[in-house]
Amino acid sequence: MSGHEGDKVELSGTVVQNLRRAIDSARRHEGRPVYRETIDYWSLLVTHARDSQTRSRERSPKLDQLIGKLSDMLAERQAV
């Protein structure tokens, strides 16, 4: 996965469930290296979640919170 426009994310479950799993995984791997493909998947998941939130008629504060958390974790990881 390259994270380029047009890439599709394959989800098992809901967007919220996938964001929670990604956040849990990022926490478990904090301070340790992860594969580039994992970072790319997490980034693509954030983009997908933002897009689904934009298309939704009602904004979900919980979804916004999870998107923000994973985005912050990605930014911290890339700053290292």
What sign for the dihedral angle of Cα 62, 29, 10, 17?
A: negative
In-domain check, residue 71: yes
Note the pLDDT tens digit of each residue in 35-65.
999 999 999 999 999 999 988 888 889 999 9
pLDDT at 4 exceeding the cut of 70: no
In-domain check, residue 5: no
In-domain check, residue 6: no
**pTM score, two decimals?**
0.83
In-domain check, residue 7: no
Rounded Cα gap, residues 80 and 78, in angstroms:
5
Total domain count, the chain: 1
Domain, as residue range, for 40? 15-79
